[in-house]
Structure formats: structure tokens, C-alpha cells
Homo-oligomer: A and B are copies of this chain.
Amino acid sequence: MKSVNLAEKLSHFSTHWDPHVVADYNENEVMVVKFMGEYPFHKHDTTDDFFYVLEGEMQMDIEGEQSRTIKAGELFVVPKGVVHRPRAETEVKVLLIEPKGEPNSGDSDREAAPKTRI
């Protein structure tokens, strides 16, 4: 039970698309992650996907809709079932919340990559 400094946690790794768990909130993992480039289009059938941009700027591409820009200080929730693709031209630092064990790809047939806890 202690305060978690997100900038400090982000300083521990430089990999992209590699969420690191920093806290638990009920049945959810609270993570920090760095994005750069684009992730594959995917969806989460049983959960919303919570993004809060800490530093930088990202795009959220939504299937069949106009892309959204999400800037530092802004949050975005992708509702369950919505096909989306996070994308960033330059590195962006993000606070991410998802249920424990949810694969980032939303593909439950694939084993979720074990997430590092820092």
C-alpha cells in the first residue's frame, strides 16, 4: 500500500507494446506502457479497454469510423467488442487498465503474454 510514481516506473523499460503492471484495482491490472508505431486491429469481446495518455500523443483507429487523437491529459475508453488499433507516430506513454489475464490482442485463443510487474 504505497504511492506509485508512473514516470519512475516508465523509466525502468524502453520496449514498446510491453505493458508493465504497477498496481491492482479489484480484478484489474493497472499498467504503464509505451507505444510507438501501430498495433494490429483487434477487439476485446468481454471488456472495455481504458487508456489515459501521460505523455505524448496517440491515435486510436476505430473500424469504420474516423480515427481519434488522444493527447497527454486525455483518457479514452474503447467499449467491449469495438475493433480498434492504437497507433503513435512518436513514442507515447500511457496508463492502461484491463482485467487480469486479458491478452492485449483480445485473442483469447492465444495465451496472454505474462506481464512484468514493476
Contact = CB atoms under 8 A, between A and B. Distances in A.
Interface of A: 1-7, 22-26, 30, 47-48, 50, 52, 54, 60, 62, 65, 68-71, 73-80, 82, 95, 97, 99
Contacts of A77: 1, 23-25, 30
Given A2-B68, A3-B70, A95-B52, A22 B79 contact: no
A54 B75 CA distance: 12
A80 B5 CA distance: 21
A3 B69 contact: yes
Q: How many copies does the complex hold?
A: 2
**Residue among A7, A52, A62, A75 with max Cβ neighbours from chain B (10 Å):** A75
Nearest to A75: B4
A22 B75 CA distance: 9
Contacts of A68: 1-3
Contact of A3 (B1, B76, B79): B76
B75 A48 contact: no
Contact of A47 (B1, B26, B62): B26
